[in-house]
Amino acid sequence: MTSLLKSSPGRRRGGDLESGKSENPDSDSDTFYIPGKNASIERLQQWRKAALVLNASRRFRYTLDLKKEQETMEMRKKIRSHAHALLAANRFMDMGRDQGGEKPTASATPAGDFGITPEQLVIMSKDHNNGSLQQYGGPQGLSNLLKSNPEKGISGDDDDLLNRKTIYGSNTYPRKKGKGFLRFLWDACHDLTLIILMVAAVASLALGIKTEGIKEGWYDGGSIAFAVILVIVVTAVSDYKQSLQFQNLNDEKRNIHLEVIRGGRRVEISIYDIVVGDVIPLNIGNQVPADGVLISGHSLALDESSMTGESKIVNKDANKDPFLMSGCKVADGNGVMLVTGVGVNTEWGLLMASISEDNGEETPLQVRLNGVATFIGSIGLAVAAAVLVILLTRYFTGHTKDVHGGPQFIKGKTKIGHVVDDVIKVVTVAVCFLSNHLSLVKSLHAKSFISRNTNTWLLLQVTIVVVAVPEGLPLAVTLTLAYSMRKMMADKALVRRLSACETMGSATTICSDKTGTLTLNQMTVVESYAGGKKTDTAQLPATITSLVVEGISQNTTGSIFVPEGGGELELSGSPTEKAILGWGIKLGMNFETTRSQSSILHAFPFNSEKKRGGVAVKTADGEVHIHWKGASEIVLASCRSYIDENGNVAPMTEDKALFFKNGIEEMAGRTLRCVALAFRTFEAEKVPTGEELSKWVLPEDDLILLAIVGIKDPCRPGVKDSVQLCQNAGVKVRMVTGDNIQTARAIALECGILTSDAEASEPTLIEGKSFRAMTDAERDKISGKISVMGRSSPNDKLLLVQSLRRQGHVVAVTGDGTNDAPALHEADIGLAMGIAGTEVAKESSDIIILDDNFASVVKVVRWGRSVYANIQKFIQFQLTVNVAALIINVVAAISSGDVPLTAVQLLWVNLIMDTLGALALATEPPTDHLMGRPPVGRKEPLITNIMWRNLLIQAIYQVSVLLTLNFRGVSILGLEHEVPEHATRVKNTIIFNAFVLCQAFNEFNARKPDEKNIFKGVIKNRLFMGIIAITLVLQVIIVEFLGKFASTTKLDWKQWLICVAIGVISWPLALVGKFIPVPAAPLSNKLSALKCWGKKKKSSGEGSL
């Protein structure tokens, strides 16, 4: 119950454990509370043990299988140990060959149209046998054997691809099939109460046939069995559909897209379409998609922890250590690889095929609802037991009357044979609940029909348990999450972790990137400064043009493809790279020709910490040029000279440096991204050779400025409205960018993150280095005020996230780079970019924004709030049914010994309440109304004061009306002149019918707990309307045509009108109720205060003693 009533310690006060205030997120005393990320195994086991569960296989289906998780970890250890052993053996053999001069004797054996067999490739790759690779002619010779080209790749036509897949296999691995429908059907049968009901149904069937004959006696038992089977089938269908949704989403998560070189051009394909012989460019953050060898690379370093378990970064070299393992991540540098093994022919493929992937994951809301279900279920069990005891007591003390008004039980007047029959039937059903009463029952005599009444009572108690224990409550979370995940895919958001859906509804701040998220990421060079002045491409001196073109063509990770038949050039690479390549083309650059005129000696790939990247090239005349490209003010600070308008090198005077700085600020003030190009010469004889070359730190001082370009990246249409929508919803949007502080300021004003120039000062607008230099205490003082952070490094973003979480914020962070991974992991919700994001960033994230659009981030917030709101709607609806059904049956049973709602009827109500109710209410789409509320605290009470008001009004109304009908219904309905048995049957049918119709009409009320217009948007929700229609049609069929099964009788049109009127009254009643004010403070606060007062009083009393 603690999770039901416990209020949030304050999402903005730092009391929320998940906010980072506590170092141990599992230290919370609430059993049914887990952190949104990285919950310990002990904590997960704790809540499972505390939960009251009737069907464990169904309740825990979508939670983490702890046993399977342990098996997976053990399997990973074994395969990693195998990888370790192979690496150690390879090093040992390499050392032996180096010392003994042993030469490998491997020779390639043709396979089909290719010059080497798949077995030889697998052995070479797994053994990391560099000797065999050299025997095959190195990467160049191996590519020839595979009919590939190190620069142009394979041809990539359909026949070639099919041939390669036939001989070398495809890049897939066999996966264990998911559960089929029959398995879900079998799981649904494991519900303890349903098993007991089936046993009771068989007993009732046997007894009915024995006492009344097969023609009449099979109805009671058969109707119970049919109702149970219906519940089982509907449950299985619902669970099976959810399973298919999760399976499709998981397939989408695994489907990585990457660039390969085919036919000389870069094309994007699925990781599943990679074949042996493919040539793949690798950059920081990429995942190595298959086993292969390195053709060429610069400072390439891999994180092999996914295979070896060690976080050590391994440097790769095309000559000494060229082998790349599938599944590893590129930690630094860049390179080009040749694929030699795919699918199960790789260590990664074997690993993935050997482990059974568990997609289960419990979310905090799921666990909290298990707590609610446990509390409600405990009450239900207690009530069922109490009612059973009371009914038996009334019966055996002679207070239960038969149809003639006399006592049903008269001690000493029942035949022994009848008693034996009674005992057998009672024991069959009640052994689990009433074992302590068996001796009493055995010693009593009863009439022949007593056994059927007793059996009916026991059936009823078990059915009360079915209704009272809300198994569907935690499963409703899974249903709404599955629905939300599927719909979020259509809104360009791929959910990697279920809990992120609900956590996003609690987000109080979003730390967003600028490029590609708030802007279009469609970059074009629109201005430039070169030759000591602002200029255009036609005015550049030839000296500057040749050096700029050389730097652009060599210092890039992009490329240009020239179609053979002519046509428009195809540029590839990051948006910034493509913009600068496009500017180079305007300068007259021929990409391939320029690259062929010089060779790369060493490269320093762009680094987000240093904000620049460099390359050393050797020209045709033997000179060494070192080109740098990066953040304009940082590169400018390293320049000691520049090339003037005459093509001569001139010193960088203070006035000239100020001129360039003013130019940068002027361009940045107009939202342009500023990039500087510079170079310097270097003595050829001082260039390191051999192993020293790979460790060479490129000199970055005494540079000569070539040009500063301004790149336009327009804001996304509608981004200002999206930002405003977040601000109105209580979610503060902060921009964290590596761009110039002035560019960041201009974009922030355009997007609405900053509302005026007056705001553009510290600490609202701050530079990364200033924030970085502060202490934790100083950061905590200003972090909440920061709206824009410019020239930030990924570590600055991490520091900001940590500070905000310490202040109690629920933080969502966007990121695309490898270095963003720590911040994405640290944040409550990590949002990786699907287009610009690296695989490392995506794996560290919780949600992938497929279109990199900030508007999609806002949609995720809406869906997060919708998940929480839909669960609250379902709770309100289900608790109303729980309370009303229990009170009606309990009061009726205690007062008269008879109950108006039979077991079959309660099972039908349970079906409406659990499965159909969850489908109807848990799939409500999000509305703009949700964005008018403040964020939801993750530990705020699930049942708000508004919900308490609504459900109590409806429950009191239903109980009052239906109990009145139960006790005075015969006279009120004018049935005094009917046969008593028939009158009672009509009265009970009207009670059942009115009760079901009340629930159907109350579903409309539950849609809008805090809005007066409950019909708003209802027509658009076809699923809701369909379920209501199905419920009403089936109810008519049950009442009018299935009287024998459901213990009902046909009603005339006046009686139907009465039932409908009773149901319809719930609508105006709900409207009137919404004018009743409720206190702002949660009810739980008052209960907590009373609890504290009681403890203080107790302690003071003990002290006085």
Question: Using the 8-state DSSP alphabet, how is residue 361 labeled?
Answer: -
Q: Write the DSSP string, 1066-1080.
A: HHHHHHHHTTS---S
Q: Out of 278, 332, 513, 796, which one is annotated catalytic? A: 513
Cα first-last separation, the chain: 33
Neighbours of 67 (CB within 10 A): 9
Distances (CA, A) of 751 to 154, 732, 747, 831: 45, 13, 6, 20
**Residue 117: alpha-carbon gap to chain centroid:** 42
Sign of the alpha-carbon dihedral angle for 249, 252, 253, 254: positive
Instruction: Identify which of 743, 758, 800, 820 has the alpha carbon closest to the alpha carbon of residue 519.
Output: 743
Instruction: Identify which of 673, 645, 669, 642 has the alpha carbon closest to the alpha carbon of residue 655.
Output: 642
β-strand pairing of 811-815 with 829-833: parallel
Helix (H, G, I), strand (E, B) or coil at 181: helix
831: β partners: 814, 847
Distances (CA, A) of 966 to 453, 901, 973: 19, 10, 11
Burial grade of 571 (CB within 10 A; 0-12, 13-18, 19 or more): buried
> Torsion over CA of 243, 248, 250 and 251, rounded to 10 degrees?
140
Token pair listed for 366: 């799921």
258: β partners: 269
Q: What are the two backbone dihedrals, phi and then psi, of residue 477, each rounded to the nearest 5 degrees?
A: -65, -45
Q: What are the two backbone dihedrals, phi and then psi, of residue 689, each rounded to the nearest 5 degrees?
A: -130, 170
In the block, tokens 């992991």 appear at: 825
**Residue 90: alpha-carbon gap to chain centroid:** 41
Dist CA 292 CA 279 (whole Å): 9
Neighbours of 253 (CB within 10 A): 14
Alpha helices in 1008-1065 (DSSP H): 1022-1041, 1043-1046, 1053-1064
Residues with Cβ within 8 Å of residue 755, at least 6 apart in sequence? 749
Q: What are the two backbone dihedrals, phi and then psi, of residue 193, each rounded to the nearest 5 degrees?
A: -70, -35
| DSSP run (H or E) holding 764 | none
Residues with Cβ within 8 Å of residue 1008, at least 6 apart in sequence? 1014, 1016
With both helix axes pointing from N to C terminus, report the angle between 903-911 and 219-254 in degrees, rounded to the nearest 10: 20
Q: What are the two backbone dihedrals, phi and then psi, of residue 522, each rounded to the nearest 5 degrees?
A: -115, 95
281: β partners: 336
Three-state SS letters, 237-298? HHHHHHHHHHHHHHHHHHCCEEEEEECCEEEEEEHHHCCCCCEEEECCCCECCCEEEEEEEE
Dist CA 796 CA 171 (whole Å): 39
Strands (E), 368-419: none
Burial grade of 298 (CB within 10 A; 0-12, 13-18, 19 or more): middle
339: β partners: 292
Annotation marks residue 513 as catalytic: yes
Distances (CA, A) of 688 to 619, 682, 685, 722: 17, 12, 8, 53
Where in the sequence numbering do the catalytic residues fall? 513
